[in-house]
Amino acid sequence: MSAFHWRCARVVAAALSLSLLCGCACTNRDNHFVLKNMDEAVKLKSVTARCLLAPVIIPTGTAAFAIDAVVTIPIMAVPKAWDDVYELYWKPREVSAMRKTLMFLPIVALTPVTFAGDWALRCIFDVGDPL
């Protein structure tokens, strides 16, 4: 491999390490709605029952974790991301009519970009309070 590929590999490895150190949204137990409900529904006291149901529980738990990571966390991040965008751009403030007029088009253009960035950040990293 060339030196460029090694540098790219190092950057990707550093980014992955940083994301693990920063705290992923999937690692926060408060963000696992489906998995928490499954855990509450299946409370096995005996070791025998756990061993017998392990072939069913392990794939079901993995599927619940995947549903939380791919579906539930992104859906639950939408209202928080919109609240951030609203607070940043659209919350009524006491400014002059000239400034409101001048800032309208840039705000309209930046709203989807800011929302997408905030939403992605909240989906990937554990930002602020739980979803």
Quick one: pLDDT at residue 7? 73
10 occurs within a structural domain: no
Distance CA 105, CA 97 (A): 14
| pLDDT tens track for 19-50 | 555 567 767 777 788 888 888 888 888 888 88
In a domain, 50, yes or no: yes
Task: Name every residue whose Cβ is closer than 8 Å to that of residue 31 and which is 6 or more positions away in sequence.
Answer: 25, 68, 72, 73, 76, 126, 130, 131
Evaluate whether residue 63 is within a structural domain: yes
Residue 7 inside a domain? The answer is: no
Which residue segment(s) compose the domain that 74 sits in?
Answer: 24-124
Instruction: Return the biggest CA–CA distance within the chain.
Output: 73
pLDDT given for residue 19 in this prediction:
59
Buried b (16+ CB within 10 A) or exposed e, 44-61: eeeeeeeeeeeeebeeeb
**CB of 73 closer than 8 Å to CB of 26:** yes
Q: Is residue 91 included in any domain, yes or no?
A: yes
The answer to whether position 98 is within a domain reads: yes
Total count of domains within the chain: 1
C-alpha–C-alpha distance, residues 67 and 109, integer Å? 32
User: Does residue 72 fall inside a structural domain?
Assistant: yes
Domain assignment present for residue 15? The answer is no
Specify the pTM.
Answer: 0.69
Q: How many Cβ atoms are within 10 Å of 76's Cβ, its own excluded?
A: 17
Residue segments in the chain with a per-residue pLDDT below the cut of 70: 1-5, 16-23, 26, 128-131
